[in-house]
């Protein structure tokens, strides 16, 4: 019996996006310890993290979603 939906795939993609954004945030925090971040740089970092999360989540979901036969 084939499974319908895509909830599991969506959840896995969501977690993958969170993992990628979390790793990027850790890297940015490490860089922030060495360089004094300005408010503009902090805003750019938040936008970058959002873009990373969205891109990775969408890419993972499209690669693992069930294919219609």
Q: Is residue 69 part of a domain?
A: no
Residue 67: the pLDDT is 64
- The answer as to whether 4 is a domain residue is no
- The answer to whether residue 15 sits within a structural domain is yes
The upper half-sphere exposure of residue 34, i.e. CA atoms within 13 Å in the direction of its Cβ, equals 4
Residue 37 falls inside a structural domain: yes
pLDDT tens, position by position, 27-57: 999 999 999 999 999 999 999 999 999 999 9
Domain presence at residue 40: yes
Residue 33, both tokens: 């310890």
Q: How many separate domains does the chain show?
A: 1
d(CA 56, CA 20): 7
Domain contains 1: no
**Nearest-angstrom CA–CA distance, 36 and 43:** 14
Q: What residues make up the domain containing 24?
A: 9-64
pLDDT of residue 57: 96
The predicted pLDDT at position 65 comes to 78
């Amino acid at each position: 019996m084939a499974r319908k939906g895509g909830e599991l795939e969506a959840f896995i993609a969501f977690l993958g996006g969170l993992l990628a954004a979390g790793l990027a945030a850790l890297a940015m925090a490490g860089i922030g310890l060495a360089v004094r971040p300005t408010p503009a740089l902090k805003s750019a970092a938040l936008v970058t993290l959002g873009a990373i999360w969205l891109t990775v989540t969408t890419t993972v979901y499209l690669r693992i979603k069930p294919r219609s036969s």
